[in-house]
Amino acid sequence: MAKTEQEKMVTGELFDVYDAELVAQRDAARQQVEAFNALGESDPEESERLIRKLFGATGDSVSVHPTFRCDYGYNIYVDDDFFANYDCVMLDVGPIHIGKHCLLGPKVQIYSVNHPAEPELRRNGAMGIGKPVTLGDDVWVGGGAIICPGVTLGNNVIVGAGSVVTKSFGDNVVVAGNPARVVKQLK
């Protein structure tokens, strides 16, 4: 039996970005995100309820400040004690897994979508490839940092503000720069 475009998307295969089912899912997510952002900070309990409904899974204590943007929402999995500051973007074509006690500074961007190298396949943005992003426990991503597709960060990683993380790093490090590199080992 042939896979759906959604199945291809979440398993990291080349998929049609303009598939009708995926377009409808993005539209539904956009409506949920707009409702969340429209609340501002006026109703924290309702904001949390909307985020829990949008995300694929959430642990205890989930806090996301507006504005927030994502593609689907259901590919975002956060564990206990998650905090995302203002203006974060998570392009969740591929799964985004975030561990316990993680903090995202303002304007952090996490991308789990890529496009093929062949120009004929990426014309008009028609084809995409999901590449999962994983952040371990106790990760702190500084403001304005970008986490690129396919990156895994281990436990107790600090990403310096404004950094562009293009490759994976293990536990107990501070990474910074463009492209990010290890600048300090942690205990």
Q: What is the pLDDT of residues 53-73, one digit of tens each?
A: 999 999 999 999 999 999 999
Distance CA 182, CA 119 (A): 33
Q: In what order do the strands lie in the sheet containing 88-91?
A: 68-70, 88-91, 109-111, 146-147, 164-165
* Mean pLDDT confidence for 73-97: 98
User: What CA–CA distances, in Å, run from 94 to 13, 41, 184?
Assistant: 10, 29, 30
- Which amino acid makes up residue 91? L
Question: Residue 31: what residue type?
Answer: Q
Choice among 65, 97, 101, 115 that is catalytic:
115
Mean per-residue pLDDT over the chain, rounded? 96
The region, left, alpha or beta by phi > 0 then psi within -120 to 50, assigned to residue 119 is: alpha
pTM of the model: 0.95
Query: What are the structure tokens assigned to 36, written together?
Result: 């969340």
pLDDT for res 124: 72
Residue 97 appears among annotated catalytic residues: no
Domain boundaries, the chain: 5-185
pLDDT one-digit tens code per residue, 4-17: 999 999 899 999 99
How far from 81 is each of 33, 52, 102, 119, 155, CA to CA, in Å? 21, 13, 7, 42, 14
> Selecting from 1.20.1260.10, 3.40.50.2300, 3.40.50.300, 2.160.10.10, what CATH number does the domain 5-185 have?
2.160.10.10
